[in-house]
A and B are shown apart, each in its own frame.
Chain A
Amino acid sequence: MLSQQILNGLVTGSVYALFSLGFTLIFGVQKLLNFAHGATFMAGAFIAYYCTISGLPFLLAIGFSMVATGVIAILVDLIAFRSLRKRGNAEFPALVSSIGVDLILVSIAQQVSKTQVLNFPFGTFPVKFYTFMGLRISLLQLVILATVAVLVALLIFYLKKTTFGRQVRAVATNERAAALLGVNAQSVYLQTFFIAGALAGLAGVLIGLLFNSMQFLMGEPYMLRAFVVVVIGGLGSVPGAIVASLMLGVMQSLTVAYLPSGLTDAIIFALLFVVLLIRPNGLFGDANAVAGGTRQ
């Protein structure tokens, strides 16, 4: 059972990674916590669901949903963050205004779904199981692991190896210096919000598909986990977010499997404190952060 539980944890953790990457990316670039990230995740699942039941092919529905959540995230930036950024000292007001956007999105979703739990129609994704070396793995789990691996690799490539990515990191490291070098911070913000939103949207779809369940509050537990991931991994650190997500997924699986139920959250937060005691900046604190995060 141990290896099966680790596999379960890795699959869940890989989706956490998808969700947390966008959150940490926005934090890295803007030094702002985007509370609307959970609602964006939920919106991704909802949009793909409504597209699917209106007859759109599933892959197209996912694509549409990712674009839409990317745009939603851009709107979050424009509505909740942009004007606050201009006046400086935006951390706390931005937190509050992004909570506001979160509540609006959640309320809309509640109205649209009539508070019902939604799930993708049976057959949206083929249910197939493979057994090897005693492990039971579904086609969906394999596809999710592969998709997340590819997207994470693409994201790292984008940040490390492309001009756009370097601009993102430049703004993350030192926005003022970047501007003097010709980097358009506004367009960097729009890009990072779009990427963060699209990844969160995809995470929403995958979670909805994997666990047959989508409801208007589904973003909240993931938001909480994203905080843990980002703090354990190191604020703004992309590799940190990936490692911490996978760790969190596996830990969660193992606590459910081997410890009295109800302790999961307590253990996760205990882990958080232990990590912070040993490494106050998180596992991948500051200096190695791909997306920056160093304050000058």
Chain B
Amino acid sequence: MKFLKLSMSATAFAAAMAASTSAMAEEYKMVILQSLTGGAAFIGKNVADGAAMAADELNANGFFGEGNSLVYEVADDATDRTQTLSLITRLAADEDVLIVMGPTSGSVALAGANVANEREFPVITTTNSMEVIENGPWSFILTQPADVTIPYIADFTAQTLGAKNCAIIGVKDNEAYVALQRKYEDLIQAQGVNLASVDGVALADSDFSALATKIATSEQDCVFIGTPAAQGANLVIQLRQAGLDPSIPILGHNAFASPTFIEKGGAAVENVYLMGAWVPGGYDDFSSAFSTNFEAKTGIPADEWHAVGYSGMQVIANAIKDAVAAGAVTREGVRDALGTQTDIPVVMGEGTYSYDEHRVPHFGMKVLQVKDGAFAVVGE
């Protein structure tokens, strides 16, 4: 079924090619390869939707000049290494494909990076794993590594809140979440904060009654939760139901910056601190417009992963445009252009996206707090 979807859009692409030659318009072909199904679908599906919307908008606004357009296909890595390897190998064999936006995360992203570097084929994975960058010059990452993001919330914990003894709850079966949690632990410990307890839950878990009782009856002055939004909201509810002292601050990382967090958490998540690259509803003209348009188009409010996809497509489009301007509409040209993108307007973080000299992305973070059922930027 997944292959069928791909081959159908390939046919559409061929038809579009035939039509375009007569108009002398240029088409730049890329593939959005994300986890539409499988364990990472909650990331990949959203990234793909955000990215597709961005590409459609850019084309509609004539971003590449009169008649020129970015042509994309959406494919499913199925959170599966074998499927990913065969898809990337096949895409690499198609000379017209300039770049792949994907695969999504974890070992699948790393496997994708590996084959991309072998085939000299640019891929930009959604993950924030440094390993993907280190794998070779053809593999990029779209999101900020823990080294870049976690200091925002760790410094807030140790310095602004002055916490001394934190209970940590992480996800034990997803390496991206584990990496974030470890980084947080290291950073707060370096600032003199003790770890009261460290527990891991599985992504599919929803029964936290035992864990919540344990934490509610233990001593700590801060609880950090490093899980996806819906699960985090659920943890907070169960912590509150187990009788956790309401004066103890609960913190989370950027995954909480999703409307889902407030929707699922309701009154229980009031006052929870988090950090976000994405501020739900937007915080400036560009991000607010994205938020409004996305919800109008899909019927669901945009979350962080939608914003990541949307922003990532802006960066890719700018890189392709630069490659065109440099007269190098090749994989190598696009790759070189991508690594030098700076200050690209995006809808997350501090509003601009830049790769540093090590091809590490930077776009900033904001510390937020849930106030009256909405995210408020702390200190503004």
Q: Which residues of A contact B (CB under 8 A)?
A: 1, 4-5, 8-9, 11-12, 110, 114-117, 119, 122, 127, 129, 136, 138, 207, 210-215, 217-218, 220-221, 252-254, 256-257, 261-262
Contact = CB atoms under 8 A, between A and B. Distances in A.
A117 B241 contact: no
A262 B211 CA distance: 12
B204 A218 contact: yes
B241 A127 contact: yes
B210 interface: yes
A211 B208 contact: yes
B243 A257 contact: no
Q: Which of B172, B206, B208, B233 has the most CB of A within 10 A?
A: B206
Contacts of A256: 199, 210-211, 214
Q: Which of A9, A114, A138, A252 has the most CB of B within 10 A?
A: A114
A213 B211 contact: no
A200 to B, nearest CB: 16
19 contacts: A110-B37, A115-B41, A119-B230, A119-B234, A127-B241, A138-B241, A210-B207, A211-B206, A212-B206, A214-B206, A215-B204, A218-B204, A253-B209, A254-B210, A256-B211, A257-B214, A261-B172, A261-B199, A261-B211
Contacts of B172: 261-262
B204 A211 contact: no
Q: Which of A122, A212, A217, A218 has the most CB of B within 10 A?
A: A212
A116 B306 CA distance: 13
Nearest to A216: B41
B210 A122 contact: no
Q: Please classify how large the interface on chain B is, using the bins under 10, 10 to 19, 20 to 34, 35 or more.
A: 35 or more
Interface in B196-219: 198-202, 204-211, 213-214, 217
Nearest to B299: A114
Interface in B253-308: 260, 264, 266-267, 300
A117 B209 contact: no
Nearest to A4: B213
Contacts of A9: 210
Contacts of A129: 241, 243
A73 to B, nearest CB: 22
Contacts of A110: 37, 41
Nearest to A265: B202
B321 interface: no
Interface SS, B side = helix
Contacts of B213: 1, 4-5, 8, 257
Interface of B: 37, 41-42, 45, 172, 198-202, 204-211, 213-214, 217, 230-231, 233-234, 237-238, 241-243, 260, 264, 266-267, 300
A248 B33 CA distance: 41
Contact of A116 (B204, B230, B238): B230
CB-CB nearest 10 A-B residue pairs: A117-B230, A213-B206, A211-B206, A256-B210, A253-B210, A261-B199, A8-B209, A1-B217, A115-B41, A257-B214
A116 B260 contact: yes
A65 to B, nearest CB: 18
A215 B214 CA distance: 25
A221 B205 contact: yes
Given A11-B209, A110-B41, A129-B241, 8 more contacts: A5-B214, A114-B300, A115-B41, A119-B234, A122-B266, A210-B209, A214-B206, A218-B206
A220 B267 CA distance: 30
B260 A12 contact: no
Contact of A136 (B231, B243, B260): B243
A215 B202 CA distance: 14
Given A5-B214, A212-B237, A261-B172, A217 B209 contact: no
A119 B261 CA distance: 12
